[in-house]
Amino acid sequence: MDIDTGSGTSGGAGFAHPLLAWLAGVGAGIDAAIECPTLSLPLGEYEGALRQIAVCEAKLASLRLSLTRQAELNEVRKLTGAANTAGWVQQVTRMGRREASVSVRLAKALDQTLQATSRALGEGGISLGQAQVIERAIRRLPNDVDAEVRAEAEAFLLDSAQALDVDDLDKAGKHLYEVIAPEDAERRIGKQLEEQERRARENRTLAFGPVRDGMGTVFLRLDVPTLAVLQALLDPLARPRPSGPEGPDGRSGERRYPDAFSEFLGVAQAAVDAPNRGIVRPRLTVTMSYDGLVNKVGYATLNSVLADPGPTDLKVTSRSDEDRGGQAVIGYRITGPPLSATLVRQLACDAEIIPVVLGGDGAVLDLGRGTRLFTSSQRHALAERDGYYCNFPGCRRPEKWTEAHHINHWIDGGATDLNNGVLLCQHHHTTIHTQGWTVRMSDDGHPEYLPPPWGDPYQNPIRPNDTTIRR
């Protein structure tokens, strides 16, 4: 081929490389094709036209990668001051940084080790995406795999590319070594998994974030077996509740799983073999005024490590102290997250929460009574009486997932007796405390429920369907 080597520049009458002339012709042809109306193209020709365009794209991609490789070998990047060839490609083509890096890496592989893939791309036999998948799959092979096995793997993927799209070819590439060397792959994969699982166990993470506006965050990373166990435990609790007096369950899946997690924690806390220190079961402590607890007003403080408790003691000067000369008294600093009085009353029904009720002067009046909580024998008797499910009409939560609710709250003088108790799941326990529903004991010794007046102005009592009772 004759090449004009005149003294001019590429834009004038001097040097004109055949590649540039060819590209100019291709560009003009593409411009003409773009301007050509497609409306008159017969429907049967659409497939052929699209396939031909895909072949042209593959061939142009092969040319671009070949030119990229030569630019790297000739260090063309230095003409523009780019840090590396990928940076130069990014400048010239306006690719993203990652796409440019992938392009340079593929160009090098096609030149050095994947000549068969390079030929297939240049002939339009595979697409650019398929070539990228093949390069990635071959690169993932163990470092000590010899050239003959790598060539066999490349041939297998090129053959598969004739029937598989990019996504399916990528899936095949992830199992490439298992196909070409199944016995050795099994050994290698076993060792890789053992190491991966060891690192996963060592890198398990659980951290509590700050509490704001009544919400806290937990950062949790688990190894696969632990995560699978957690999901298996939550799945039954996260199923939509059946329709009942409240209507269908309108919660989204994203809402049902945190609700299920909260319910699961309640079940774990109530378990006989719950984690403990000696003979003390897991407990929380809340602090609030006695009047607020009885009258459902104000708020409580949850004494928890969720917030920095600050110094052990703190000097506090009250107005009455100032009247007596401003003498400071030593008190305890309470800086935990706040809880409403309504939520504290609900938790006090059946949770291991010790209310530290304070008088007007801050003195501790009561640390809770052991008889406040229903015993396991009482829970069993309640289940025998009302059925081994949540007693709320239409609910089928098993008894082991329920909480014992005082019909007449213990704070209001209610006793921890069978005729003052009922088993409710966490959701319906919350409903009774917050949504205006009322539960009372009927004349025949079984609980019945009164809906809120905005749901039923007459507040007709509702009894659990007899078919839900299993004894």
* H/E segment holding residue 429: helix 426-434
pTM over 0.75: no
Torsion of CA 334, 340, 342, 345, to 10 degrees: -20
Give whole-number Cα distances, 403 to 97, 143, 334, 469, in Å. 56, 58, 29, 17
Q: Write out the E strands in 338-431.
A: 338-340, 353-358, 364-366, 402-406, 421-425
Between strands 402-406 and 364-366, the pairing is unpaired
d(CA 172, CA 190): 19
- Strand pairing partners for 343? none
Amino acid at 443: D
Identify the pLDDT of residue 291: 67
268-271 own/partner pairs: CB under 8 Å, 24+ apart: 269/351, 269/352, 270/350, 270/352, 270/403
Burial class (CB in 10 A: 0-12, 13-18, 19+), 249: middle
Closest alpha carbon to 350 in 284, 417, 412, 270: 270
Give whole-number Cα distances, 124 to 29, 55, 131, in Å. 19, 4, 11
Burial class (CB in 10 A: 0-12, 13-18, 19+), 340: middle
d(CA 22, CA 43): 32
Identify the pLDDT of residue 409: 81
pLDDT, block means (10 residues), the chain with 471 residues = 43 70 90 89 92 94 96 92 92 94 96 95 95 93 85 92 92 81 71 75 86 84 79 81 73 84 78 50 59 64 50 38 40 53 65 51 42 71 79 84 84 78 87 88 87 86 59 30
Identify the pLDDT of residue 350: 55
DSSP letter at 163 equals: T
Closest alpha carbon to 394 in 322, 462, 457: 462
Identify the pLDDT of residue 413: 76
Contact criterion met (CB below 8 Å) for 424 and 394: no
Closest alpha carbon to 398 in 158, 237, 220, 196: 237
